[in-house]
Structure 1
């Protein structure tokens, strides 16, 4: 990669590798990852358990030293200048790391002071973030008095105290209820709208699909794909599912199985599902078959490929510990 690309992008990884050595021998955790995240981008890093996501994030945030390759955050090399990188990033881990002896406001203020802010500036910045995250009324609460969603908002607010160029979010909505998760999504969209660069790891496919400009899928330490969700859906061969529910019949759907672009056809009493890479014309043909059989169509659905179908196509369906 050119030096211009390295300096202009928010995050660049070039041949990034990490190998751990233990009693079993060498264990490759990340194997030659190339990655580039643009400034202001909302980027998702997806993968099964043990895929290498955490190790990759650890190297980008200077917590893990690369075995080989190169990575820069905001043009700063993570290996040669880790302190410089830490000044430019905010990190939200899966675990709640708030200081239980401090109030919500103090948790934010102390983080600002840690990054060199004066007392007045830190208090002003904390007040801004508390209002942004709708936590003004909880400023004097202790962490153990907060709900899960409130606690997560405080953690994110604390990571933003020093106005980092890049915000790393590791499974930020894990264990949150659906309503709280969606509310947090809105807050994260607001942050990006203000220019914040965000790198997200998540197990929620709908989360990545809803929030991210681009996503990368990693498994067994290798980057399998990196693109927009729509482009990945097109390139990974994810299937659309056309479902017709009817009364009467049965329908003569055998001809559909040989139709170009159709992967398989499932037929049961009163319902036909067609899995197709190229669904154009399938729905019309199903309706025509129902009409020929004297059946009445009662419901029609067309589910387009989702990020989850792409993810499973790339990583397989086996269980991961």
Structure 2
């Protein structure tokens, strides 16, 4: 295992008393995996990542990261990992290329190799011609890609990426996705957080869902989607009458009839009438529809349209946490700023 953690806890002291930002996290990441670590704001994602990257000390629990014990050999962990923080790490007045070379030298990379590898990464991550530019003159997206170059310059086998594509335009995001896949193809392991569900779906072999400091779900994206109760189906009913009262009466009769038919289907859940028809969820919605439509037609009911939507990762989050991944409502503190550690 590239990462093996058991019972990780991180407690912070706040003015209101101790707050457990992470409450007993167990997780495993195999060599060569791309693992997405996802959850709503304040769920404990960044705190957990910072513990695994040795940036903060766990209050309790154990972990082995890149073959080194997190508590006994944090220096060994640091030598083997790359870390790209969400907030960035470059100095505004520094020259971009100098920042990359200096960062590589801290890992024992020769200056010549650091320059060669850094300029190659600049080309791969769409930063051509910016090697001698001051960081403060770069756009937000360019600075983000520079952060990623710095995290990769020493060729780590385990890379932590905290919201790596924040601030990137669609083309730059797609470019970075390809680069991440290329890193995995060369044997690297990627552990990333993201608020972009399409990113997690496209990139990750497995997803870990954290909420209120605990892992509440884990699995491949498709497996997690299958845990949601089926595909979402909407049946829109036709309205062919001119008189409004008759139309509403006809719609009510047709709606009731469709609901009765749908409820007889094996596995149908969340059956409800809506303004223009009926919504429900059912496993393998596409394969169920032909028979369902024949029954509705036999009942003399006319439809205006049919929509089938497979579960999304946002549906997974709503099911597991009761809120969307991008929910900005307050949540338990995820590493409260300037708080003191509570010693276990």
TM-score w.r.t. length of structure 1: 0.88
Which of 29, 54, 77 lines up with 1:37 in the alignment? Answer: 29
Would the aligned equivalents of 2:258 and 2:296 in 1 still touch at CA under 8 Å?
no
Provide the residue aligned with 1:239 in structure 2: 230
TM-score w.r.t. length of structure 2: 0.82
Secondary structure class of the residue paired with 1:112: helix
Provide the residue aligned with 2:285 in structure 1: 279
Match status 1:253 vs 2:254: no
Per-residue deviation, 1:155? 1.0
Secondary structure class of the residue paired with 1:138: coil
In structure 2, runs of 5+ residues without a counterpart are: 241-250, 331-344
What is the Cα-based RMSD across aligned positions, in Å? 2.4
Match status 1:309 vs 2:315: yes
Provide the residue aligned with 2:157 in structure 1: 165
Provide the residue aligned with 1:225 in structure 2: 217
CA distance in 2, matches of 1:221, 1:268: 37
Per-residue deviation, 1:185? 2.1
Would the aligned equivalents of 2:141 and 2:167 in 1 still touch at CA under 8 Å?
no
Moved over 6 A (4+): none
Per-residue deviation, 1:20? 2.2
Provide the residue aligned with 1:3 in structure 2: none
* Structure 1 pair 177–134 and aligned structure 2 pair: CA distance change class (3 A): closer
* Structure 1 pair 182–300 and aligned structure 2 pair: CA distance change class (3 A): farther
CA distance in 2, matches of 1:291, 1:120: 74
CA distance in 2, matches of 1:176, 1:136: 16
Match status 1:79 vs 2:71: yes
Higher relative contact order (CA 8 A, sep 6+): 2
Per-residue deviation, 1:40? 1.0
Which stretch has the larger CA shift, 288-297 or 154-163?
288-297
* Structure 1 pair 64–274 and aligned structure 2 pair: CA distance change class (3 A): same
Which of 165, 172, 176 lines up with 2:168 in the alignment? Answer: 176
Equivalent pairs, count: 312
CA distance in 2, matches of 1:216, 1:135: 32
* Cα distance per residue 1:159-179 (max 9 Å; x no partner): 111111111111112233444
Per-residue deviation, 1:278? 5.4
* Structure 1 pair 148–246 and aligned structure 2 pair: CA distance change class (3 A): farther
Alignment map for 1:1-321 (pairs within 5 Å): 9-234=1-226, 236-245=227-236, 247-248=238-239, 250=251, 251=254, 252-255=257-260, 256-268=262-274, 271-277=277-283, 279=285, 281-292=287-298, 299-317=305-323, 320-321=329-330
Secondary structure class of the residue paired with 2:311: coil
In structure 1, runs of 5+ residues without a counterpart are: 1-8
Per-residue deviation, 1:62? 0.5
